[in-house]
Amino acid sequence: MLTTFVHTGDFHLGRPFTFLQQGNYYGKNKRKELWKAFDEMIAYVKEEAVPLLLIAGDLFDSVNVLTMDIKRAAEGLASLEKTWVVIITGNHDYHGDSSPYKKVEWPRNVYIFKEDVFRSVYIKELNTEIYGMSWVKNEYRAFPERSFNSIKLNDTRYNILMAHGEVTNQSLYLPIDLRMIEKKGFDYIALGHIHKPGLTPGGVAYCGSPVPLNFGETGERGFIISQVKTDYENQSFITSSGFNPIESRKYETIDIQIVPEDSYQDIINKAIRCDSDINRQQNYYRIRFTGYINPEIQMDWINDDLEDAFYYVETDTSKLEPDIDLELLIKENLNNPIGQLLTELGKIAEPEVRKKAIIYSIEAMIGEGVLK
């Protein structure tokens, strides 16, 4: 009988990460972080003797992943000698002509769904039947309702559904009708594709990505562990699920308000005070400066001046505006080329374009010493 299982996916092994600062160095470290998470998951399954591991798509980042990465993943799964591993493919590692799953020999304990209709595999010793659909191309505008509707569950078995897509009405990435799949009566529904983990009381779960992959991914990351108990009196199964976190570097986006009275050193100090020294040397930071800045201050070197205080930092100054009274400036320079230029720029119809043109022109004139 099935007593416990792990639900994971969206590892995106082999992803070529890019960063604004020293991309190759940080990209290599991020690649190591993905493999560390994969190895930790394997170690947990092995140590806890978990009988079933579900991987809900996008184990790999693309069909062009290196063969050495595919072999490394296959060897890790082969080490789980007491565990059944069931895999569906996703939009990144879809099972087409160049499928990574065709490039190496997979161990006997690994079962891979290879069709874009729902099929099932029954694991007798666990009394568990798993229904899954894999991607064989990189886009699906419709859910395969015909094959799904043909599913007839055996209530004496523990029934699991695996799918990789979005719970929405319209999508290029396999739209899923949550009510429809819940009505079928599965004991657990293991979803992939959305990188934010989530569980519902009805037994539907997104495992999320085991580590955050970019600045859009915040919050705790890891994999889902589910415990299964058999209710013999009511001839049913009771599933309780929880989240096992994996320690990893976090992505932090910080907004810092600047006022005209701030000196350049004040701005540096505000950025450094955004978090503790321990966190700053551990995580990825994107600092967005907003507000009004003394026009004499140039922010061209702010990233370089902050890099020693952070493991990784990138800055955005696009929302900063020089503290200038534009009307007064035009009035004071009405009869010279500066005033004439600013007057012409003020005639630009698009507000955002007009604003940026005036700001850039003023900053350039201050930088050249034309304005003081």
Model confidence at 23: pLDDT above 70: no
Instruction: Kindly state the percentage of the chain with pLDDT values over 70.
Output: 96
Packing angle of the helix pair 23-47, 67-78 (nearest 10 deg): 20
Contact 40, 74 (CB under 8 A): no
Long-range CB contacts (within 8 A, 24+) of 110-113 = 110/74, 110/77, 110/78, 110/85, 110/86, 111/84, 111/85, 111/86, 111/87, 112/86, 112/87, 112/88, 113/86, 113/87, 113/88, 113/89, 113/162
Which pLDDT band, with edges at 50, 70 and 90, does 306 fall under?
Answer: very high
Least confident range from 213-222, 303-312, 345-354, 362-371: namely: 362-371
**pLDDT tier for residue 372 given thresholds of 50, 70 and 90:** low
Using CA of residue 75, residue 77, residue 82, residue 84, what is the dihedral sign?
negative
206-232 burial code (b ≥16 CB/10 A, e <16): bbbbbbbbeeeeeeebbbbbbebeeee
For residues 26 and 12, give the distance between their C-alpha atoms in angstroms, rounded to a whole number: 16
pLDDT in tens, 182-206: 999 999 999 999 999 998 877 899 9
The two tokens of residue 280 are 């700053």
CA distance 83 to 111: 11
Joined tokens for residue 98: 């160049």
Residue 64: the pLDDT is: 86
User: Is the CB of residue 6 less than 8 Å from the CB of residue 190?
Assistant: no
Q: Where are the beta strands (DSSP E) in the chain?
A: 4-8, 52-56, 84-88, 110-112, 119-123, 128-132, 158-164, 166-167, 175-176, 188-192, 198-199, 204-206, 222-231, 236-245, 251-258, 284-293, 312-322
Cα separation, 11 vs 210, in Å, equals 6
What mean pLDDT is reported for the chain? 92
What pTM does this model have?
0.88
Instruction: Say which range, 215-224, 273-282, 293-302, has the weakest mean pLDDT.
Output: 293-302
Choose the weakest-confidence range: 21-35, 53-67, 171-185, 295-309.
21-35
The predicted structure's pLDDT at residue 240? 93
Sketch out the chain's domains with CATH numbers: 4-245 (3.60.21.10), 251-367 (no CATH)
Choice among 51-60, 245-254, 352-361 with the minimum mean pLDDT: 352-361
